[in-house]
Amino acid sequence: MASGVMGSNHRTSRWHIVGRCAGEKSCNIKRESIYGRFISDTTGDAVVEATILFPIMIMIFAALVLLAIYLPAQAVLQRATQYAATAIATENSDTWLFFDESQIAYYQETDKNKLKNVYAELFTGSGDIQSKGEAIVIDVESRGISSKAGQLSVDSYIVNKIVYKEVVVTAAREFPMPVDLSFIGFPSTITVTATSSTVVLNGDEFVRNIDIATDFTNYIIEKYDLHDIKDAISSFGSKVSGILGW
The pLDDT tens digits of the residues spanning 85-113 come to: 999 988 888 777 888 877 778 888 777 77
206-229 average pLDDT score: 82
Query: How far is it, in rounded angstroms, from Cα 137 to Cα 18?
Result: 94
CA distance 126 to 170: 18
Q: Average pLDDT, stretch 219-241?
A: 79
E-strand spans in the chain?
97-100, 105-108, 151-160, 165-176, 189-200
**Residue 126: predicted pLDDT:** 62
pLDDT score of 154 more than 90:
yes
Q: 8 falls in which pLDDT band (50, 70, 90)? A: very low
Q: Report the chain's mean pLDDT, rounded to a whole number.
A: 76
Residue 20 has pLDDT above 60, yes or no: no
Whether the pLDDT of residue 169 is over 90: the answer is yes
For residues 188-209, average pLDDT: 84
Look at residue 101 in the predicted model and tell me its pLDDT: 76
